[in-house]
Each structure stands twice: as C-alpha cells, then as structure tokens.
C-alpha cells in the first residue's frame, strides 16, 4: 500500500509537471501554425480556392462578362461526348509519352557526362545547359526562325548545301509537327533534368564503383548494376516532373502552332484555353481544367505507388 | 450599305466638340430648355483614361498616340494613355475579356463591333456613347459626321456603342505586279484563271498566294468569298440567322472544295499553316516575290506603307477584287471584310472618365484633320466628306479604286467571325483550319458546324 500510495503520490507530484509540458506542446503547435500560416494562406489563396472555384464553375455557364448560370452536369455530359476533347486528351497523352521517352535517356546521358571528370567537361556543360537561361517565348521564336520553310535557317542549309530532306514544312505538316514539338520541348527541358541526374550521380559513393572495378565489372555492367539502381529515385523524380509538366504543357505549342495544323497538336491545356478565352465558355473550360488536374494527380500517385517512391527506402542498404 | 452612304457624302459636318460646347453653352444659358432634353456638367470634369488599341502598323499607331498627346495639351488636367497590343487579335481579345470582367477596364477599347461587342453590351460591360456631358446616350451628334452604314455593326437597339477609328476595310487581293509581269500573267479575274496561274508559278517555285493561317482567321476570308461568289449573300445570312442545317448549302460545300483545290494545287506557299499573318511574314513574301499575292483587308495598305513604303510608292503593288466563280449566283462586285474598326466605351468607369472618353472620341475620330491623317496612312476614311481627300492623295491610285469598289458593291458582308460572335466563330475557324490542312472533308465540316445551328 505504501508503495501504491507512493506511486500515486508520485503521479500526483508528476501531474503538475506534465501540464506545463502539454502547454509547451500547444505553444509549439501554435508556433508551427503561425510559422506555416503565410504558406497555408498563399496555398489556400492560389491553389485551394481556384481549384474549388474551377470545380464549381464546371457546373455553370459563364462568359466572364455576363452572369453565371447553374447548369448541373451538362458540361460534364458534353465532355464525355465531345470528340474535340477526346482528341486533345489523346494528343496530350502522346506528348507525355514521347516527352518521357526522349527526355529521360538524353537527360541521363548528359547528367552522367557532366557529373564526370573529363577534360573540358565544365565547358561542354555550360554549352549544354544554355537553354536553361532562355525564356520559353524566346525559345519558341528562335525555333520558329530556324524552322520557317521560306526564310528559316534549315531552309537556308537545305538550299545551299543541297540537303533537300531539311526542306520540310516542320510546323505545318500533320504527320510530323507533334514530333518536332517534342524535340523542341526536349531541347528546352533536357538540361534541367540533366542537372537532376548529375546530382543523383554525384551522390553515389565512389566505393561502389571501386568495388565494381575490383570485381572486374565492365563499363556497361557498372552502369547496369551500380549507376542505374542507385539512380532509381532520381529517375522517378525526373519522370514525375516530365510527365506532370508535359500534361499541362502550353506555351511553346501556343506560340509555334496554336494547336495546328488542324488540331494535330491541340493538347488539352490549349483546348481549355481556346474554349475559355476565345470561345468564352468558362464553364466547359473548367471541366477540362478539372480533368487535367485529376489526371496529373492520378499519374503522380500511380508513379509513386508503382515505384515505391513514397516509402523512400534507402537504395544503399549495407553501404553504411 | 457603305456604297449607299458613300454616294451620299454631304458637305454638312460639324466638329463634335464645337457642337457639344455650343449645346452646353445654350443649355447653361437657358436652364429650362436644358432640363427638358439634356444636362451638362457645370464645370468640365477632368480625368485620366486608358485607351486600348490593336497594332495597325507604325504609322497608324503613331497617329493614335499623337492624337492623345495633342488632346492632353489642349485639355489640362486630362490624360489619355494609349496602349497598343501588338500583332495578334486573339491576344487582344483575351486581354480585353479579362479587363472588362474587372472593376478597372480601359475607358475606350478597340472593337470590331458585331457579335462580340453585342456580348459585352448584353453583359452590361459596354455603354452607348453620348455627347460629353449630355444625356443623349446612344445618339450622339457626331453620328452625322460618319457615313451612316459605318455605324451598323456598333448599333444595337438603335443606340450607337462605337465610333469608327479607321478606314473601310474590304478584303482584296494585294499583288506584286513585277512577279505577275515576269511570267506574263495578268491579275486573275476568274477562279479557273487563278488555278491556271497557280500551275504556271509553281513551275517556277513561286506560290501564287501568300497565306499565314496558323490562327485560322486569314483562311476564313477564302470561305467567305467562295461562298458568296457561289451562292450569294443569303448563304451566310441563313447561317447568321441560326437556321437549321444552314451550313449544308451547296455553296458552302463547293466553297470548301474550292479551298482544298487551291491547297492541293499548291496555290499557297509551303508552311502557310504554321505562320501568323500578324508577324508581317506574308507581306514579306509578296515584297520579295516568293508569293505573287495575298488576300487581306484594306488595312494592309497602311501596314505596307509603314513596313515597305518603297514597294507601295514605286507602283509594284496592285490591288484586285476576288475572282469570280463561273456560273456562281453571287455578284462579282460583292465585298467581304470589316466595315471599319471602332473604339467602344466600358461601363465600369467614373462619370468624369466617361466625360473625357466621350470628349476625346468625338473630338479626335470624327475630325477632318484625323480623316486627312488616315488618308496619308493609306486608309479610306469613314468620315463623311472625305472623297476630296482621296483624290488629292499621292496614294490616289490605291485609295480611289478601293473607294469605288466599296461604292459599287451591291453587298458588303461583315467578317463572319465577328458577325457570329466567339461561341460559333471559334469552332468555325478551327475546323476550317483542318479543311485547309486536308485533315477534314467539306462534309465533316458541314456536319460539325450544323451542330451549332440551334434554330429551326
């Protein structure tokens, strides 16, 4: 009993000490909330509220200048029967797939190269990374100048060097324009992803390469069994940025083709812009915006689930 | 239409500022009369206003900014700030739409009139013009200073919502005489002649027609003309009246086929669907002889004067009407295009800004001096009594034929995209772009566009 009473009395004695601790916790929580509030406020103002507003708008008709009218699910029914939207969705997915296929190996190769120790590496790196310094509009106009079939740089080479295959209607042929856009977008973004790969490669411990060399691994084997597995999360990060970025890609396509020729390069974001700002149907354009947002989130979650990226397991068990 | 008005050009014209001041003085002196018809500010309010314009070449752009500067000098306390949106009309429309939705729109804004302006009016975003400080909203005294037909696209419910700021803008062929002469060709008068010329020029690596159709509105001019030449004005009037299946008219199908024939025969230069006319690229094709001609609104003469005055003054430039279609029902003298361009006035501005905006618009755009400046810049003004200015101009060889074409046109069709408004115009030009790229058949185009005809 004495023991029990001692315990009880001890508990009693401890209780007043616990109260200030929970108060401290509350203070810390308050401090956290206060610290986060500017971010939460901005996030709410510029992300949450617009998203909720877009969802609300998708059930209305609105031309910005006139009154807003509730139309229920009419805009959503229209989306499911609109061949223009389905086509835009298909073009978007094609652009996403092609962008990933082109950008990933190029960025990886370039990233591994600039992470190395070759002579003049930094000079080459500076040249390769040049597109990072240019604005998107500038890049689009520059390529417009290069590809113009009448006065463009390629047309000049075609004429003076008798390279007739260069004389194509690069931005106006339904069969090739989407691929040309993929190349231009890759030209713009490969340097950025190369930087990610460079950082990933530099984070791989030198000991792993030394061990591979001691084991007699060839260059290809070292890449296959050391570099590639160690870059696993770098690949996921870069892929997620490419995929989500391509889903909402707009500016270069808008400047170079405006979705043409015909609608062969009209991606969903451009279709949304045309529907909203040119056709002044902001209700239906909001449906397209919501579809894009849902698609982006779904793809990101899928990538995380498939790759185990969310668990963030160490790729280097046993190293340290 | 314009023809009728041009033939009725009268000498009666008052400077609208003088008129407004005269009326104001009269009303101040006789308050009882003023109370019955109009009211006036006891002292002229002052304000700063924004005016949004669309790029029309350096000369016209400068003319607008000079007018604002002169107005500021003559009206201490007022400030008129002219902003010019470069090149793309689509860019401007988007910017304007956003601005009109806010509480801080430009007091005056560039407009094509028609369906888009009507949309703004119905939403209460644009207000009718009055004489500054008066209550005659919708029928200001300056309407008498313009050819009456010029106000059609900005008159709704018998009220005037826009003031003409540029010349009449029929769509015509602008051609390089040197190129046609080099291959012993005359300007084609019929479509078969045009197709024959296409083949002759293609054999010499030259396109008959320069086109910049990335934003699709330039291609629409071909549909407008072919449809009119084939079937006459009723083809489009039925579409505009929202009649069911109006796009199924054989003239539309035939017009779309004619367009695809031009494409298949390589009438247009390579890459016509990947460049924007607003970049000046197409004009350059004609200057340099890469293409023999281009179909464009008469505003292009002013732009050519800004960009390559030598080409215009040397006489290399020729102007011709769209060729006829043998057996077509349309009149060979019918014209397509914009009657003119306007500035309209936003609703959400202060009363002082409204006063200054009305004062600026009336005193500048209806004046004889402005009309003379327009002629100098290659425009055929909509200000009444400008015929003598055209005859005295060094550009007489271009301006007088345009004036005559407009004067004798039995029908002047307002541009389809502006007439229909954005909801129908956007799918129309987008699908027409596919017709130009041969990725959509005329039948598919007709079927899609009939889907937008909701009438019976």
pLDDT of residue B456: 76
Question: Residue B285's domain is classified under what CATH number?
Answer: 3.40.190.10
Burial of A69 (0-12, 13-18, 19+ CB in 10 A): exposed
Q: Is residue B442 part of a domain?
A: yes
Q: B440 contacts in A (CB within 8 Å)?
A: 262
Whether A129 and A195 have beta carbons less than 8 Å apart is answered as yes
Q: A260 contacts in B (CB within 8 Å)?
A: 214, 216, 273-274, 433, 437
Which one of B206, B214, B279, B445 would you mutate to disrupt binding with A, by most A Cβ within 10 Å of its Cβ? B214
Question: What percentage of residues in chain A have a pLDDT greater than 70?
Answer: 89
| Interval B202-246: pLDDT, tens | 999 899 999 999 888 999 999 999 999 999 999 999 999 999 999
Q: A75 contacts in B (CB within 8 Å)?
A: none
Sole residue written with tokens 């009718």: B128
pLDDT of residue B5 exceeding 60, the answer is: no
Q: B97 contacts in A (CB within 8 Å)?
A: 64-65, 277, 280
Residue B175 token pair: 């051609």
The band of B45, judged by pLDDT with boundaries at 50, 70 and 90, is confident
Instruction: Count the Cβ atoms, other than its own, within 10 Å of residue A264.
Output: 21
Strands (E), A3-47: none
| Same-domain check for residues B179 and B315 | yes
| Same-domain check for residues B99 and B88 | yes
Report how far residue B271's alpha carbon sits from residue B281's, in angstroms, rounded to the nearest whole number. 11
Q: Is residue B258 part of a domain?
A: yes
pLDDT of residue B17 exceeding 50, the answer is: no
Cβ pair B273:A67 closer than 8 A: no
| Same-domain check for residues B179 and B316 | yes
Q: What is the mean pLDDT of chain B?
A: 86
Cα three-residue angle A172-A177-A179, rounded to 5 degrees: 170
pLDDT of residue A9 exceeding 80, the answer is: no
pLDDT of residue B179: 96
| Interval B99-146: pLDDT, tens | 988 888 999 999 999 888 998 999 899 999 999 888 888 889 999 888
| Same-domain check for residues B285 and B191 | yes
The band of A41, judged by pLDDT with boundaries at 50, 70 and 90, is very high
Residue of B nearest to A66 (CA): B123
| Same-domain check for residues B183 and B158 | no
Report how far residue B385's alpha carbon sits from residue B9's, in angstroms, rounded to the nearest whole number. 5
| Same-domain check for residues B196 and B297 | yes
| Same-domain check for residues B10 and B119 | yes
pLDDT of residue B36: 34
pLDDT of residue A311: 61
Q: Is residue B138 part of a domain?
A: yes
What sign for the dihedral angle of Cα B117, B122, B126, B130? positive
Q: Is residue B1 part of a domain?
A: no
Cβ pair B100:A172 closer than 8 A: no
Give whole-number Cα distances, A276 to A57, A58, A92, A287, B387, in Å.
11, 11, 18, 10, 44
Tell me which H or E stretch contains B65. helix B58-74
Q: What is the mean pLDDT of residues A215-226?
A: 92
Cβ pair A172:B120 closer than 8 A: no
Which one of B271, B425, B439 would you mutate to disrupt binding with A, by most A Cβ within 10 Å of its Cβ? B271
| Interval A197-219: pLDDT, tens | 999 999 999 999 999 999 999 99
Q: Is residue B403 part of a domain?
A: no
Q: Which domain holds residue B379?
A: 6-168+339-385
Chain B residues 193-212 with CB within 8 Å of chain A: none
| Same-domain check for residues B82 and B198 | no
| Same-domain check for residues B137 and B107 | yes
Residue of A nearest to B348 (CA): A65
pLDDT of residue A73 exceeding 90, the answer is: yes
User: How distant is the Cα of A103 from the closest Cα of chain B, in angstroms?
Assistant: 25
Q: Is residue B404 part of a domain?
A: no
Q: What is the mean pLDDT of residues A81-104?
A: 95
Here the ipTM equals: 0.73
Contacts by B449-455, CB closer than 8 A, 24 or more apart: B449/B247, B449/B424, B450/B244, B450/B245, B450/B246, B450/B247, B450/B248, B452/B423, B452/B424, B452/B427, B452/B428, B453/B239, B453/B242, B453/B243, B453/B244, B453/B245, B453/B246, B453/B247, B454/B242, B455/B241, B455/B242, B455/B243, B455/B244
Instruction: Count the Cβ atoms, other than its own, within 10 Å of residue A49.
Output: 11
Q: B437 contacts in A (CB within 8 Å)?
A: 172, 174, 260-262, 264
Provide the CA A256 distance to its chain's centre, in angstroms: 21
| Same-domain check for residues B89 and B189 | no
| Same-domain check for residues B30 and B15 | yes
| Interval B343-394: pLDDT, tens | 999 999 999 999 999 999 999 998 888 999 999 988 999 888 888 899 999 9
Q: Does B354 touch chain A (CB under 8 A)?
A: no
The band of A143, judged by pLDDT with boundaries at 50, 70 and 90, is very high
In degrees to the nearest 10, what's the CA dihedral of A268, A271, A275, A279? 180
How many A-B residue pairs are in contact by the CB < 8 A criterion?
102
Q: What is the mean pLDDT of chain A?
A: 86
Q: Is residue B400 part of a domain?
A: no
Number of domains forming the structure of chain B: 2
Give whole-number Cα distances, A257 to A292, B210, B219, B264, B411, in Å.
21, 18, 15, 21, 35
Q: Is residue B88 part of a domain?
A: yes
């Amino acid at each position: 009993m004495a023991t029990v009473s001692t315990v009880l009395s001890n508990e009693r004695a401890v209780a007043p000490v616990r109260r200030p601790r929970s108060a401290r916790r509350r203070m810390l929580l308050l401090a956290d909330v206060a610290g986060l509030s500017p971010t939460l406020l901005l996030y709410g103002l510029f992300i949450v509220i617009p998203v909720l507003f877009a969802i609300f708008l998708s059930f209305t008709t609105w031309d910005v200048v006139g009154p807003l009218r509730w139309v229920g699910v009419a805009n959503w029914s229209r989306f499911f029967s609109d061949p223009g939207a389905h086509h835009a969705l298909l073009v978007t997915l094609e652009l996403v797939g092609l962008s990933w296929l082109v950008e990933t190996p190029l960025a990886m190769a370039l990233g591994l190269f600039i992470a190395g120790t070759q002579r003049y590496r930094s000079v080459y790196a500076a040249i390769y990374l040049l597109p990072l310094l240019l604005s998107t509009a500038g890049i689009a106009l520059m390529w417009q100048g290069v590809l113009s079939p009448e006065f463009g740089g390629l047309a000049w080479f075609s004429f003076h060097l008798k390279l007739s295959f260069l004389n194509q209607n690069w931005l106006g042929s339904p069969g090739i324009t989407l691929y040309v856009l993929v190349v231009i977008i890759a030209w713009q973004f490969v340097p950025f992803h190369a930087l990610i790969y460079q950082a990933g490669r530099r984070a791989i411990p030198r000991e792993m390469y030394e061990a591979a060399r001691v084991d007699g691994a060839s260059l290809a084997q070292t890449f296959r069994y050391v570099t590639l597995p160690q870059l696993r999360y770098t690949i996921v990060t870069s892929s997620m940025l490419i995929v989500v970025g391509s889903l909402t890609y707009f500016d270069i396509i808008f400047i170079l083709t405006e979705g043409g020729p015909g609608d062969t390069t009209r991606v969903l974001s451009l279709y949304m812009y045309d529907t909203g700002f040119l056709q002044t149907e902001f209700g239906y354009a909001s449906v397209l915006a919501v579809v894009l947002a849902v698609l982006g989130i779904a793809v990101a979650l899928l990538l995380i689930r498939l790759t185990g990226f969310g668990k963030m397991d160490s790729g280097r068990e046993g190293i340290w | 239409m314009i023809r009728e008005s041009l033939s009725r050009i009268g000498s009666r014209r008052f400077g609208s500022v003088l008129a407004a001041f005269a009326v104001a003085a009269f009303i101040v002196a006789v308050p009882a009369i003023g109370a019955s018809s109009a009211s006036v500010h006891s002292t002229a309010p002052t304000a700063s206003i924004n005016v949004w314009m669309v790029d029309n070449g350096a000369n016209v752009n400068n003319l607008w900014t000079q007018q604002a500067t002169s107005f500021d000098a003559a009206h201490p306390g007022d400030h008129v700030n002219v902003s010019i949106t470069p090149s793309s009309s689509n860019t401007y429309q988007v910017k304007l739409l956003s601005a009109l939705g806010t509480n801080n729109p430009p007091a005056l804004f560039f407009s094509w009139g028609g369906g888009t302006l009507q949309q703004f009016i119905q939403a209460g975003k644009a207000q009718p013009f009055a004489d500054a400080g008066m209550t005659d909203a919708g029928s200001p005294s300056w309407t008498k200073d313009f050819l009456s037909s010029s106000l059609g696209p900005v008159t709704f419910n018998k009220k005037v919502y826009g003031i003409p700021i540029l010349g009449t803008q029929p769509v015509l062929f602008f051609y390089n005489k040197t190129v046609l002469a080099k291959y012993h060709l005359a300007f084609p008068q019929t479509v078969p002649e045009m197709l024959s010329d296409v083949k002759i020029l293609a054999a010499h690596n030259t396109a008959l027609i320069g086109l910049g159709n990335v934003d699709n509105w330039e291609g629409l001019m071909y549909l407008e003309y072919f449809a009119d030449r084939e079937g006459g004005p009723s083809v489009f009037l039925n579409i505009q009246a929202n009649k069911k299946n109006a796009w199924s008219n054989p003239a539309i199908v035939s017009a779309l086929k004619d367009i695809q024939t031009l494409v298949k025969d390589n009438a247009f230069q390579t890459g016509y669907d990947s460049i924007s006319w607003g970049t000046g690229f197409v004009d350059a094709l004609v200057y340099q002889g890469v293409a023999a001609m281009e179909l464009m609104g008469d505003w292009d003469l002013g732009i050519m004067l800004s960009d390559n005055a030598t080409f215009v003054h040397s006489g290399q430039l020729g102007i011709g009407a769209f060729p006829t279609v043998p057996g077509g029902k349309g009149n060979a003298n019918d014209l397509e295009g914009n009657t003119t361009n306007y500035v309209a006035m936003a609703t959400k501005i202060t009363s002082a800004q409204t006063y200054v905006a009305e004062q600026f618009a009336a005193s500048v755009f209806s004046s004889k001096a402005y009309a003379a400046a327009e002629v100098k810049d290659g425009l055929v003004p909509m200000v009444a009594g400008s015929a003598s200015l055209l005859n005295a101009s060094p550009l007489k060889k271009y301006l007088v034929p345009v004036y005559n074409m407009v004067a004798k046109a039995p029908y002047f069709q307002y541009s389809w995209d502006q007439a229909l408004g954005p909801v129908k115009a956007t799918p129309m030009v987008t699908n027409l772009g596919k017709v130009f790229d041969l990725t959509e058949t005329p039948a598919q185009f007709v079927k899609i566009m009939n889907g937008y005809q909701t009438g019976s």
